[in-house]
């Protein structure tokens, strides 16, 4: 994770397989990555599986930001386009055959910076759901020693 964060590199492909493996390890059946969707249209969901007799369709996004953080390369990243892509994926789930789950990682976000909540609420508003920082988010700290461990 530290390498991806310090380079502002997206890691959605890796994350799909980690989630798929985790779901299978915990009893999910029929786990597939990028399987053809059974809903109308020609779309694919990032991860699909069945658990306890229910189907789940998951859309994942990794949203890199342009906020300055110690140990992270100063690169310009279009956070607005990344947030728009989260909304597009969330809307795809409106027609899914199972239970739709949209999840995203936003990085890097400085520890004392709450600008990310504006994007969370914007995503919820565009998808017609009320999102809560307490109920729908968690923050993971990556020690600065990991971010600064460049070769």
CATH of the domain at 16: 3.40.1350
* Lowest mean pLDDT across 20-24, 39-43, 138-142: 39-43
How many domains would you assign to the chain? Answer: 1
Residue 108, domain extent: 2-147
Does residue 151 surpass a pLDDT of 70? no
Contact 81, 66 (CB under 8 A): no
- Bridge partner residues of 63 (DSSP): 106
Q: Estimate to the nearest angstrom the gap between the alpha carbon of 49 and the chain centroid.
A: 17
Contact 97, 142 (CB under 8 A): no
Tell me the average pLDDT of the chain. 85
State how far the Cα of 11 lies from the Cα of 39, in Å rounded to an integer.
Answer: 26
State how far the Cα of 65 lies from the Cα of 62, in Å rounded to an integer.
Answer: 10
Which of 27-31, 39-43, 141-145 has the largest mean confidence? Answer: 27-31
Q: If you count them, how many residues does the chain have?
A: 151
Q: Measuring CA to CA, how many Å separate 72 from each of 76, 104, 117, 131?
A: 12, 20, 21, 28
Does residue 112 surpass a pLDDT of 80? yes
pLDDT tier at 144 (50, 70, 90 boundaries)? low
pTM given for the model: 0.83
């Amino acid at each position: 994770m530290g390498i991806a964060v310090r380079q502002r590199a997206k890691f959605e492909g890796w994350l799909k397989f980690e989630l798929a493996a985790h779901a299978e390890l915990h009893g999910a059946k029929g786990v597939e990555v990028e399987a053809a969707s059974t809903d109308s249209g020609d779309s694919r969901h990032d991860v699909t599986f069945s658990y306890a007799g229910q189907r789940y369709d998951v859309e994942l996004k990794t949203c890199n930001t342009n906020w300055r953080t110690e140990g992270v390369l100063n690169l310009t990243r279009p956070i607005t386009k990344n947030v728009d892509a989260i909304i597009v994926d969330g809307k795809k789930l409106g027609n899914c055959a199972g239970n739709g789950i949209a999840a995203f990682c936003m990085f890097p976000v400085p520890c004392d910076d709450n600008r990310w909540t504006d994007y969370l609420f914007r995503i919820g508003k565009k998808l017609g759901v009320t999102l809560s920082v307490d109920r729908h988010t968690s923050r993971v700290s990556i020690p600065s020693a990991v971010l600064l461990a460049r070769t």
